[in-house]
Structure 1
Amino acid sequence: MAKPNDFGTLIDLTKTTQALISHFQSSLAPSTTAPAPPQGESSSASPVDVPNPLDAIRATTTLLRSHTTTLSLLLLTPPLTPSAIIKKIGDVSSGALSGMVAVAASAPQPGQRDELGTWMRAEVRARVRRVLVAWGDVLVLVRLFAERREVLQKNKHATSKGKDEGPTEDEKQDVLAATGVVWEASDALLQLCADGVVGLVVKKAEEWRATLMDAVEELKEWGEDVEDDNEDNSGEDDDGFADEDDLFGAENKLGKDDTELKALLDTSVKKLKKIGMLYQALIKRRLKTFPTSATATPTGTSNESSPNPIPTLDQLMTLLKAIPDTVDELASTFYDLDDEEVRQTLDKCCGEAKSAVGLVKQSWGGKDDEFTAWSGKWVDAFDAA
């Protein structure tokens, strides 16, 4: 039988652990500005290899998932045993969670080789925060269980009633649901570890390309919706809103006599389609071939002397993300019928695409390859479009 003060101790522990989780979440909060990628290691010393952080994240996440499963069984099996739950929460806080957060919040020190980079580190932190939120919800349930059982215990001492008959059906469902959320968040973090840096950057690049191509289709459709001053809108199907549609739609329609803007639209669509082709080539020839710690260093180089490719990857991903954003700006300038802004924004977009090509023209090992030759032809075709 639990001691009278055991439930009070458990309640206090849930409160202090919730405060700890809030502190953990703050330490993993995204910065207001994206962290700058590391600027290469000192030439006077070789970078120091450290264990891959994803291995530590994988181990602590697996342990947390196991502890959560055990904790859910303790909550579902009467009578509620505060001492066992207190020990389990302590194991999670001082072990799995603290270890997970320490790795996620860390950054490579001077002289250490960065194995994650800006994009992967941000994603790891985001998914660890989800795990923390999910586990915080479990703590809320533990506290509720402890508070209710504490009342039952007091009633038993006062009236010889109040036997703990176990959780109600609603409580069982709450425990199972909260446990399931922790499992889902943990599985997402484990999947990220399994996919690694390559899996993440490929997925993001594919998403950005899809966004880019959607914008291209929207621009094409907008260009086909040409304003016709002679169009007769007096048809029988008038629903009473025709005048309003004309009033609000005419301002951003492409006039059929606006040949200059139409030519800019045609050029933009052609160039953006070629940028879409570039994404495909970069995904296949550069992102999927990125050397990770689990793979060998580029052929013909030694691990000690080879430069760390992570900073270049970070820069490439920054450009690949920026291009769809610039295309959104380009669409807005078209809708505003602003020829000059269209030219400037298109030039900006083209510059970002060319920068991406130039950044990884050679392989990660610094050698010419098939992509090197293809990229030269792509630039020529892109300029001619």
Structure 2
Amino acid sequence: MAPSKEPGNLATLRNALSSTKALIRSFQAALQSPTPPPSVIQDPPNPLALLSDASQILKAQTTKLSLLILNKPFTHSAITFILKSLSNNCLPGLISALEICPATKYTRLLHQHIRSTLLKVMRELLSLIASIPSDEHGIETSTGRNTLASTGVLWAECDKMVELASKGLVYLATQRTEDHHGLLKDAIQELEEWDPDEDTDSDTDSLSSNKQKPASTPTADNISSAIEELHISSIANLRKSTLLTLRTVRVIYPALKKRRISTFPNITSASTLESLPTSADIDALDSLVDQAKGFTDAADEIAGALYEGDVEQVERRLRALRESAEGCAIGVKTGWKGEEDEFTAWAEKWTARLEEVGRE
């Protein structure tokens, strides 16, 4: 009896594979769209709760799917059942979680993070499904390795989404700010280890080896040497000024995390629509995280200009960085309820120090 049903089961599996792949690709296109369609769900549930539930189901289903792919006998009907379950419930649930998590209510940070995570999930799920045999033969060893790799990535991403839903927006904002803080510290360390004299000496030696100094023009050589020495001195001074500015800016990260990000009204899988932060606070947190990233971007640009010896650009970018950092501190000078606190007094002293650095 079983063998006679096998051709039908195989055809059903192939149809399920085709439709599931098409669905995932349509979701990928929607996730990559710059203007996603607005949610039409009435009285939407908590998006993080939906994200967590769908992620746990996805992990369970991909675990079953992986085992069915790798183990014999190869059961077409069981795999077809899982594919239909993914298409009808799990994947639409993940996409709905993003749709009911608009940036205006839940921050651009959270919305974009979920979007990028779902794009990764869709890509890995396609890879996993691609390893499903579409004939009566079992899976090859090489494809088996691909199956395990994709399953491992999917597990990790599902666990991260569940953790995000539990710990919430504050957890994500803290993580992102710590990442930017680390990048700024790396930029400072790289500048500390860079010696502009060594680069200039190397360039000068290279030039000297390719030309002879004319004996009849000592005055021109002296002028050229003096100009070169002046440029070296200017770059060295700018390096010191850059390090002083970056070290001062670096200090604000722990203060922002402790006094502003950790005190933000958190959004978790237990939050209700009534408990969401105000739109002004949502915008302020997005701006804060963007500025934390902006400091690291500015540090990279300043370092690049220093390495190129572009004095004017370094000075201009340093001024812009100090102004941006000062604006950041002033923007969150008071707490989320408008109250003055420890950060208020600290920010005044810090901005004063930043102004002093600009004059040194």
* TM-score of Structure 1 vs Structure 2, range by shorter chain: 0.7 to 0.9
Residue 67 of structure 1 corresponds to which residue in structure 2? 61
Alignment partner, residue 39 of structure 2: none
Q: 2:13 aligns with which of 10, 18, 29?
A: 10
Q: TM-score, normalised by structure 1?
A: 0.74
Work out the CA distance in 1 between the residues paired with 2:209 and 2:258.
46
Corresponding position: 1:312 with 2:303: no
Does 2:105 correspond to 1:114? yes
Alignment of 1:29-178 (within 5 A): 29=32, 31=34, 51-108=45-102, 114-115=105-106, 117-142=107-132, 145-149=133-137, 175-178=147-150
Q: State the shift of 1:243 in Å.
A: 4.0
Q: In structure 1, what is the Cα distance between the partners aligned to 2:276 and 2:199?
A: 64
1:204 corresponds to which of 146, 163, 176? 176
CA distance in 1, matches of 2:71, 2:109: 43
Assess, with a 3 A threshold, how the Cα gap between structure 1 residues 81 and 215 changes in structure 2: closer, same or farther.
closer
How far has the Cα of 1:255 moved from its partner? 5.5
The equivalent position to 1:284 in structure 2, one of 241, 254, 258, is 258
Q: Deviations for 1:24-60, whole angstroms, at most 9, x for unmatched residues?
A: 111112649xx9xxxxxxxxxxxx9964311111000
CA–CA separation in structure 2 for the residues paired with 1:171 and 1:226: 52
Instruction: State how far apart, in whole Å, the 2-side matches of 1:378 and 1:243 are.
Output: 45
Structure 2 equivalent of residue 192 of structure 1: 164
Q: Is the 8 A contact 1:316 1:356 kept in 2?
A: yes
Amino acid in the other structure paired with 2:352? D
2:27 corresponds to: 24
Name the residue aligned to 2:224.
Answer: none
State the distance in 2 between where 1:120 and 1:146 align: 38
Q: CA deviation at 1:107?
A: 4.5
Gaps of 5+ in 2: 37-41, 211-226
C-alpha contact 2:235 2:309 (8 A) present in aligned 1: yes
Residue 381 (str. 1) matches residue 353 (str. 2) = yes
Query: In structure 1, what is the Cα distance between the partners aligned to 2:299 and 2:173?
Result: 20
Give the Å deviation of 1:246: 8.4
In 2: Cα distance, 1:201 partner to 1:228 partner: 42
Of residues 358-367 and 181-190 in structure 1, the stretch that sits farther from structure 2 once superposed is 181-190
In structure 2, what is the Cα distance between the partners aligned to 1:99 and 1:295? 15
Q: Which residue of 1 aligns with 2:216?
A: none
Query: Does 2:169 correspond to 1:222?
Result: no
Matches within 5 A, 1:236-315: 243=206, 256-258=229-231, 259-294=233-268, 303=275, 309-315=281-287
Against the structure 1 CA distance between its residues 193 and 329, is the aligned structure 2 distance closer, same or farther, given a 3 Å change threshold? same
Q: Which moved more, 1:283-292 or 1:310-319?
A: 283-292
Equivalent residue pairs, number: 329
Query: Aligned in 2, Cα 1:24/1:266: closer, same or farther, shift over 3 Å?
Result: same
- Displacement after TM superposition at 1:118 (Å): 0.7
**Contact persistence 1:105–1:125 (CA under 8 A):** no
Distance 1:77 1:358, change over 3 A: same
C-alpha contact (below 8 Å) 2:196/2:235 kept by paired residues: no
Tell me if structure 2 keeps the 8 A contact 1:228–1:256.
Answer: no
| Partner residue, 1:157 | none
TM-score by length of 2: 0.79
Distance in structure 2 (CA, Å) of the matches to 1:16 and 1:185: 24
Aligned to 2:333: 361
Give the whole-Å Cα distance in 1 for the aligned partners of 2:239 and 2:88. Answer: 59
Cα pair 1:69 1:179 within 8 Å, conserved: yes
What is the CA-CA distance between 1:295 and the residue it aligns to?
11
The residue type equivalent to 2:294 in the other structure is A
Partner of 2:265, secondary structure, is coil
- The aligned counterpart of 1:154 is none
How far has the Cα of 1:353 moved from its partner?
A: 0.6
Unaligned runs of 5+ in 1: 36-47, 150-165, 234-241, 248-253
Q: Distance in 2 between matches of 1:73 and 1:87?
A: 14
For the Cα contact (< 8 Å) 1:114–1:310, is it kept in 2?
yes
Structure 2 contact 47–269 (Cα < 8 Å) conserved: no
Which one has a larger percent helix, Structure 1 or Structure 2?
A: 2
